[in-house]
Amino acid sequence: MFLTELKMIKYEDIKYHVPNKVMFKSCRRLPKGLVLLFIAGCIAMVIVFLKSHGGLTKQSLIKTIPLKNVRSFTGRKPKVYRTSDVDMDPLRIASPYYKMKIPKNSTCKERRPVLHKHDLPLTALISYPGSGSTWVRHLIQQLTGIATGSPSCRRKLKKSKSFSVGECVNNGKVIVINSNDRYRHKKFEKRFDKLIILYRDPFDTLRSGYSSKHPGHSESVDSEIFNVRGWYEFVRDHTTLWERYYTEWLEAERPVFLLYYEDLKTNLPATLKKLAHFLEWRVHKKDIDCTLVTSEGHFHRRHVHNITNSEIFVGKLWHKLEDAELNLAEIASERRKAGNYVESGTRLKNILEKADEEDKEDTSL
């Protein structure tokens, strides 16, 4: 009787007058097992379809996505394009740190560093804040497989898988011990057999250090953080601190390896070989190749600069920092003559030669 009356009722009447219990009574009678079986069948069909069409794998992405469109993924134009020598994700190909040729079909995985069984020679990694010491520690760990230490024991690194083993270790069980204090401590220096001094372009160093103090801003979008009085005071004060810091460490009575940050970005394989030689650590070609693959790390900050250094280091700020670097170039020249000193590149040497050429031109006039 009810079904006969239901056929004579219009849809509008059903919508507004028939209770929900009547409309969905038949649906409620379906067993739950049948519903779950239907959902599982749909999922299985999707999986079979993806497998038959190549799936959403890295290989299929590389084959189907043209590299000219990589910019749409990263928001910026990559510096280097490679298609034949690397079997990698397009997002990693767009990284500016993959200028070097990486082995094809690499099976390298990121190393989990361990503490050394015996005490190694104590080596310090000296760096001014903003120089990129965390990334360099990651490279050393991937190259050697041995953990790096730090007396500062930063909580963020202690919780990470890459640095948790050696972050608070301050002895010979780690291959290097990082220190990024702004002052040279003679007691700290006497503990070590040799020093790795990480040197980065001072303009980029101060820029990175200032940006890290403003985590709520994005350097690629909010350039207003540099248009305040605090920025000028920061550069003015830290230029003096930066120059004094490197002056004191370059005069240290220990074997010194001056490691240029820019050399790691432009010529990583050769720089890693020099670094391993200074550490007296034997490495094979595979170690260097795998370090190239896993070089990015999780704590390497990427900055997309929409404004140049010349736009934010204006007037006296630029000239003061240039003069500070020239003074360091002269100190490095004297240290080079004294011996027990190695550089990964020729940045300071080139600065000094350029200054000498300019002086000759001025005297000739």
> What tens digit of pLDDT does each residue of 202-212 get?
999 999 888 88
Percent of the chain with pLDDT over 70: 69
The answer to whether residues 349 and 333 touch, using CB atoms and an 8 Å cutoff, is yes
Question: What are the tens digits of pLDDT across the range 240-295?
Answer: 999 999 999 998 889 999 999 999 999 999 999 999 999 999 999 999 999 999 98
* In a shared domain, residues 78 and 33: no
Average pLDDT over residues 66-93: 36
* In a shared domain, residues 170 and 318: yes
* pLDDT confidence of residue 29: 60
Rounded to an integer, what distance in angstroms lies between the CA atom of residue 196 and that of residue 117?
23
Query: Looking at the domain assignment, is residue 103 inside a domain?
Result: no
For the chain, list the strands marked E by DSSP: 123-127, 177-179, 194-199, 256-260, 341-343
Position with higher pLDDT, 2 vs 190: 190
Question: Residue 68 — pLDDT band, cuts 50, 70, 90?
Answer: very low
Query: Looking at the domain assignment, is residue 116 inside a domain?
Result: no
CATH code for the domain in which residue 357 is found: 3.40.50.300
Rounded to an integer, what distance in angstroms lies between the CA atom of residue 76 and that of residue 306?
10
* pLDDT confidence of residue 182: 62
* In a shared domain, residues 266 and 294: yes
- Which of these, 117, 113, 119, 125, lies nearest to 176 by C-alpha position? 125
Query: Looking at the domain assignment, is residue 343 inside a domain?
Result: yes
Longest dimension (CA), the chain: 116
* pLDDT confidence of residue 188: 72
Query: Looking at the domain assignment, is residue 114 inside a domain?
Result: no
Question: Residue 30 — pLDDT band, cuts 50, 70, 90?
Answer: low
Chain centroid to CA 251: 30
What value does the mean pLDDT of the chain take? 77
* In a shared domain, residues 145 and 223: yes
* In a shared domain, residues 44 and 78: no
* pLDDT confidence of residue 152: 84
Question: What are the tens digits of pLDDT across the range 109-158?
Answer: 899 999 999 999 999 999 999 999 999 999 999 999 999 999 888 888 88
* pLDDT confidence of residue 18: 47
Query: Looking at the domain assignment, is residue 251 inside a domain?
Result: yes
The answer to whether residues 169 and 149 touch, using CB atoms and an 8 Å cutoff, is yes
Residue 156 burial by Cβ neighbours in a 10 Å radius (0-12, 13-18, 19+) = exposed
Query: Looking at the domain assignment, is residue 267 inside a domain?
Result: yes
Q: What is the CA radius of gyration of the chain?
A: 30
- pTM assigned to the model: 0.69
Rounded to an integer, what distance in angstroms lies between the CA atom of residue 21 and that of residue 6?
14
* pLDDT confidence of residue 272: 97
Region class of 130: left (phi > 0), else alpha (psi between -120 and 50), else beta:
left
* pLDDT confidence of residue 296: 81
* In a shared domain, residues 160 and 291: yes
The answer to whether residues 222 and 306 touch, using CB atoms and an 8 Å cutoff, is no
Question: What are the tens digits of pLDDT across the range 162-185?
Answer: 898 988 898 999 999 998 766 666
Q: Is the pLDDT of residue 84 over 70?
A: no
* pLDDT confidence of residue 28: 55
- Which of these, 331, 307, 281, 90, lies nearest to 219 by C-alpha position? 307
Distances (CA, A) of 217 to 202, 210, 262, 310, 357: 21, 11, 25, 20, 42
Number of structural domains in the chain: 3
Q: Give the 3-state secondary structure of residue 68.
A: helix
Query: Looking at the domain assignment, is residue 273 inside a domain?
Result: yes
Q: Is the pLDDT of residue 65 over 80?
A: no
Q: Which two tokens stand for residue 204?
A: 């980029």
* pLDDT confidence of residue 6: 46
Q: Give the 3-state secondary structure of residue 19.
A: coil
* In a shared domain, residues 295 and 206: yes
* In a shared domain, residues 35 and 80: no
Rounded to an integer, what distance in angstroms lies between the CA atom of residue 191 and that of residue 185?
10
* In a shared domain, residues 23 and 170: no
* In a shared domain, residues 82 and 209: no
Domain that holds residue 80: 65-93
Question: Residue 53 — pLDDT band, cuts 50, 70, 90?
Answer: low
* In a shared domain, residues 127 and 160: yes
* In a shared domain, residues 69 and 179: no
Q: Is the pLDDT of residue 304 over 70?
A: no
Query: Looking at the domain assignment, is residue 48 inside a domain?
Result: yes
* pLDDT confidence of residue 346: 94
Position with higher pLDDT, 137 vs 66: 137
Return the residue matching tokens 């069948």: 41
Name the residue type at position 71. R
